[in-house]
């Protein structure tokens, strides 16, 4: 009998992380889910129990070096190994570049980029020694398209795409697979929390309104996070891996189009003054209807 695979899923308390932790457990893996506060993991534990599986909880804050060190010490002490790491922990961040405080860039990067790197660094020495393992980094469609009025979030997800591409080549000689999963709009608490529209200058009303228009349409069509969990399991288990896996509403359309969008079209979209004309042109370029009525 083959040894049970061990998966660690960060950000397991909600959304994609929670769904992925439960789905991987349903596929027979031993799953350890990291959360910032174990006392707030009741819904995760209840959903896992309802699905007939167990997800073990580990308190860990990906934004803190010492917390990651201690958390992964506990993980290795409990499970002995980590075969698959899913970096799902993340935060949003709304602001146009002119209005974005530097500390917001730093905070979002520290979680979305450096947090993923911290966790990868914790598991890679043992993976290299075994010559096997998988790192799955959850980026976003905003890691391929510069989503409007979300400068810190976009910057962090583009950065994680670059880190992931580099890791894929760096780790290939050691038999370690890297997968980039790029969700579009998925049912998740991150959207309910991500409602800031700073507009401190008053100059960017159109930008914030159109950003919320996109997510308003997205939430009407949002993908169940368990669909993302299935894609993540496929990325881990497939015998024909690829580097990128777009998923969820608008994910495949927008991520796949980035390199085929003419720069002039991109700039012209920003010049469209009328909202209806903007939404029509958006659909022409991306093939995604962001109308909500």
- Tens-place pLDDT, residues 209-268: 999 998 888 888 888 999 999 999 999 999 999 999 999 878 877 777 766 788 898 899
Domain tally, the chain:
1
Query: Is 214 within the bounds of a domain?
Result: no
Per the domain annotation, does 126 fall within a domain? yes
| 270 located within any domain | no
Active site residue: 153, 215, 245, 278, which one?
A: 153
| Domain boundaries, position 170 | 6-200+221-259
Query: Is 108 domain-assigned?
Result: yes
For residue 281, is it within any domain?
no
DSSP per residue, the chain? -PPPPEEEESSTTSHHHHHHHHHHHHTT-EEEEEES-GGG-HHHHHHHHHTT--EEEEE--TT-HHHHHHHHHHHHHHHS--SEEEE-------B-GGG--HHHHHHHHIIIIIHHHHHHHHHHHHHHHHT-EEEEEE--GGGTS--TTBHHHHHHHHHHHHHHHHHHHHHGGGTEEEEEEEE-BBS-HHHHH------TTS--HHHHHHHHHHHHHHHHSPBPHHHHHHHHHHHHH-SS--SEEEESBTHHHHHHHGGGS-HHHHHHHHH--SHHHHHHHHHHHHS------
CATH code assigned at 115 = 3.40.50.720
Mean pLDDT of 72-96: 97
Give yes or no: 153 in active site.
yes
In a domain, 117, yes or no: yes
Structure confidence by residue, pLDDT tens digits, 36-67? 999 999 999 999 999 999 999 999 999 999 99
User: Is residue 288, in this structure, part of any structural domain at all?
Assistant: no
* Residue 118 resides in a domain: yes
């Amino acid at each position: 009998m083959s040894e049970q695979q061990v998966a660690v899923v960060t950000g397991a308390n909600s959304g994609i992380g929670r769904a992925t932790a439960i789905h991987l457990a349903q596929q027979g893996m031993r799953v350890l889910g990291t959360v910032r506060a174990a006392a707030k993991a009741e819904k995760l534990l209840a959903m896992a129990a309802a699905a007939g599986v167990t997800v073990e909880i580990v308190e860990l804050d990906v934004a803190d070096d010492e917390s990651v060190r201690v958390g992964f010490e506990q993980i290795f002490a409990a499970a002995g190994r980590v075969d698959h790491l899913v970096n799902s922990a993340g935060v949003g961040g709304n602001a146009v570049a002119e209005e974005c405080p530097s500390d917001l860039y730093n905070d979002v990067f520290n979680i979305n980029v450096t947090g993923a790197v911290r966790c990868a660094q914790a598991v890679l020495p043992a993976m290299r020694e075994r010559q096997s393992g998988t790192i799955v980094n959850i980026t976003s469609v905003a890691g391929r398209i510069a989503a409007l009025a979300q400068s810190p979030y976009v910057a962090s997800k583009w950065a994680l795409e670059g880190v992931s591409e580099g890791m894929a080549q760096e780790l290939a000689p050691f038999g370690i697979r890297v997968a980039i999963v790029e969700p579009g709009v998925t049912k998740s608490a991150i959207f309910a929390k991500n409602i800031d529209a700073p507009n401190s200058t008053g100059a960017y009303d159109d930008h914030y309104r159109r950003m919320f228009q996109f997510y308003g349409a997205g939430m009407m069509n949002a993908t169940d996070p368990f669909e993302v969990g299935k894609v993540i399991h496929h990325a881990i288990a497939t015998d024909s891996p690829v580097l990128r896996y777009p998923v969820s509403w608008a994910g495949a359309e927008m991520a796949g189009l980035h390199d085929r969008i003419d720069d002039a079209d991109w700039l012209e979209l920003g010049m469209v003054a009328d909202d209806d004309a903007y939404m029509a042109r958006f659909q022409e370029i991306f093939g995604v209807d962001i109308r909500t009525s």
